[in-house]
């Protein structure tokens, strides 16, 4: 089988597993199981990004989605009840607020340049050089990875440091010591 077909089959399989995992998350009443399933979903998502040659995005998804988020959910469960209570009733206020925010975001993004427009500011300055010279200068075939790991390596290191520091801060707010509280 050609490598492209194998890659396509792997991608379809991962997306099918993500769909099954999302369905399991929606159906479970155990919050612990939901937290674990969210971690699995994030790892599957990271694997999809690897197949799509976006290793930098996969790394972030694995670290934040499967790592820190799962730890935070488990730490929260250690301090609360591990079972979901009776289903909440639908309240129109928060639903209207969310719908209003969606409309506001749609309106705010209506004046942006159309997708891949050559006259867009992002396409006029540095992007042409990254696209033309990036693979040759860095030796990395994926332009996004080349930009984040080579051209903007210090920025990426700073972003990872901020994410790590935020995770440590949240863990400190949750409290590393003390006994767990159960409802």
| 3-state helix/strand/coil string of the chain | CCHHHHHHHHHHHHHHHHHHHHHHHHHCCEHHHHHHHHHHHHHHHHHHHHHCCCHHHHHHHHHHHHHHHHHHHHHHHHHCCCECCCCCCCCHHHHHHHHHHHHHHHHHCCCCCCCCCCCCHHHHCCHHHHHHHHHHHHCCCCHHHHHHHHHCHHHHHHHHHHHHHHHHHHHHHHCCCCCCCCC
Give the pLDDT confidence score for residue 176 in this predicted structure: 61
Give the pLDDT confidence score for residue 173 in this predicted structure: 74
pTM recorded for the entire structure? 0.58
Average pLDDT (36-44) is 94
Average pLDDT (47-72) is 85
Mean confidence (pLDDT) of the chain: 82
pLDDT of 140 above 80: yes
Give the pLDDT confidence score for residue 84 in this predicted structure: 64
Give the pLDDT confidence score for residue 151 in this predicted structure: 78
Give the pLDDT confidence score for residue 181 in this predicted structure: 53
The residue among 176 and 46 whose pLDDT is bigger is 46
Band (pLDDT 50/70/90 cuts) for residue 59 is confident
Q: What are the extents of the domains in the chain?
A: 1-84, 120-178
Band (pLDDT 50/70/90 cuts) for residue 162 is confident
Band (pLDDT 50/70/90 cuts) for residue 117 is confident
């Amino acid at each position: 089988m050609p490598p492209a077909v194998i890659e396509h089959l792997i991608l379809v399989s991962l997306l099918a597993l993500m769909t099954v995992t999302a369905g399991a998350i929606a159906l479970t009443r155990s919050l612990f199981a939901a937290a674990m399933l969210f971690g699995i979903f994030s790892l599957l998502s990271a694997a999809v990004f690897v197949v799509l040659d976006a290793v930098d995005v996969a790394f972030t998804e694995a670290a934040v989605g499967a790592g820190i988020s799962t730890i935070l959910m488990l730490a929260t469960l250690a301090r609360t009840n591990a079972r979901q209570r009776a289903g909440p009733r639908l309240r129109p206020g928060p639903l209207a607020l969310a719908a209003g925010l969606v409309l506001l975001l749609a309106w705010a993004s209506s004046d942006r340049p159309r997708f891949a427009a050559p006259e867009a500011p992002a396409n006029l300055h540095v992007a042409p050089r990254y696209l033309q010279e990036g693979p040759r200068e860095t030796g990395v075939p994926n332009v996004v990875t080349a930009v984040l790991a080579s051209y903007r390596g210090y920025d990426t290191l700073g972003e990872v440091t901020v994410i790590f520091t935020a995770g440590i801060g949240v863990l400190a707010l949750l409290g590393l010591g003390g006994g767990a509280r159960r409802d």
